[in-house]
Every structure is written in C-alpha cells, then in structure tokens.
A and B are shown apart, each in its own frame.
Chain A
Amino acid sequence: SQTIHQWPATLVQPVGSPLSLECTVEGTSNPNLYWYRQAAGRGLQLLFYSVGIGQISSEVPQNLSASRPQDRQFILSSKKLLLSDSGFYLCACPGDHGYTFGSGTRLTVV
C-alpha cells in the first residue's frame, strides 16, 4: 500500500511571502495525486489534481499553483500568500480502498 509524506507539519508565514509545500508518494507508480485545503471546521476543498508528470488541473481559481516535476512528487506553491490561504493542506492519493492522505500541513498566514 502507498505512503504519503508531506511536510512541513506546521507553517506560519507573513502575508505576501511565498509558499512551497511538498508531497511525495511511496509504494505506487504513476498515481493520481490531489491537493485539498480545509479551513477551520470546514470540509475538504479540492484545489488541484494531477494524473501524471506535468499534468495539473485546477479546481478553484486562487493565487495558488501546483506542479508535478516527478512521478511521485506533487508541489503546492504560492508567490504571495493571502490571509485567506490559512488552512490545513492535505495531499491525497487513491488506492484500492479509497484515498490515502498525507499527515497534512497546517498553514497560518499572519
């Protein structure tokens, strides 16, 4: 079964600063990968998904971007963070039984 590594676990960043969150997957090849954001007390908002290297689909217009430079690497970025970018960011990969999630990054923009 696959394992998802996600870092950092927590991050406090000032408004206007850049962002880079990384997700790597073990135990599978050519996976579909997803980035979700969860605001405090809210549900899962799909931000981006990727079906392969260099292939990114954006679900929600925003100041975030994603890249897939390698088969098992998925990166979420921003050039200038907004206060509204605060939240819990989760990387996910489908398997035989639903999705496996990374442990998440809690981002606070101050």
Chain B
Amino acid sequence: GENVEQHPSTLSVQEGDSAVIKCTYSDSASNYFPWYKQELGKRPQLIIDIRSNVGEKKDQRIAVTLNKTAKHFSLHITETQPEDSAVYFCAASKSNYQLIWGAGTKLIIKP
C-alpha cells in the first residue's frame, strides 16, 4: 500500500525567510496531494492541494511542487510570519477518499 514520508520533523526558520517541507510517496498511482496546517489545539485545515496533472500550484505565499517521476512533493512558504507557526501534514491518495498521511512537521518561526 501507499506510504508517505515527511521531512523534517521540526523546522525552525527566521521570520521573513522561506520554509520548505518535503514528502515522498511510494504508490505511483497516487494522484492527489493535499497539505494541511494544524495550529495548537485545533483541527487540521487544508491550505493547498495539487493533483498529478500539474507540477506546481501557488496561492499567495504558499506553493506546492510535485515531481511524479521522483514521487515527491514539497510545500514552500515564503516570507514566513509568526502565524505560520504550526504543524504541517502532507498526504497522498489515489482518489479523494482515504488519505495516507505524513508524520507531520512542526514549523517554528523565530522572531
């Protein structure tokens, strides 16, 4: 079955710098890759997603890139701000049903 690995487990960046979180997946049939942000004590919320027919998607300071050949996808956050501090989860699925989750990355934005 599908396996998703996420790195790093913790990422600390200076406010204003960029942050990159990477995920790899094992099932080449996976075609949907969302990213979720979970603030402390809150539910995970979708921040951006990408489907396998595109290589990159951007939404303001957030972008996701997908490399189907290498089976990896990445979340890029530019001009980081204190409110970006949270745990970020990647996931993959072959349909829009059962997502297979990465273990999460705790992003710390240093003032």
Is B101 at the interface (CB under 8 A from chain A)?
yes
Contact (Cβ within 8 A) A101 B89: no
Chain A interface size band reads 10 to 19
**Interchain nearest-CB distance for B103 vs A (Å):** 5
Determine the chain B residues whose CB is within 8 A of the CB of A106 once the complex forms: 41
Query: Residues of A with Cβ closer than 8 Å to B?
Result: 32, 34, 41-44, 49, 90, 94-99, 101-104, 106
For B96, the chain A residues whose CB sits under 8 A away are: 94-96, 98
Per DSSP, are chain A's interface residues mostly helix, strand or loop, or mixed? loop
B101 proximity list for chain A (CB < 8 A): 43-44
Interfacial chain B residues near A42, Cβ < 8 Å: 103-104
Q: Which residues of the partner chain B approach A98 to less than 8 Å between Cβ atoms?
A: 34, 36, 46, 49, 91, 96, 99
Chain B contacts for A104, CB-based, 8 A: 42-43
Q: In the bound complex, how far is the Cα of B103 from the Cα of A42, in angstroms?
A: 7
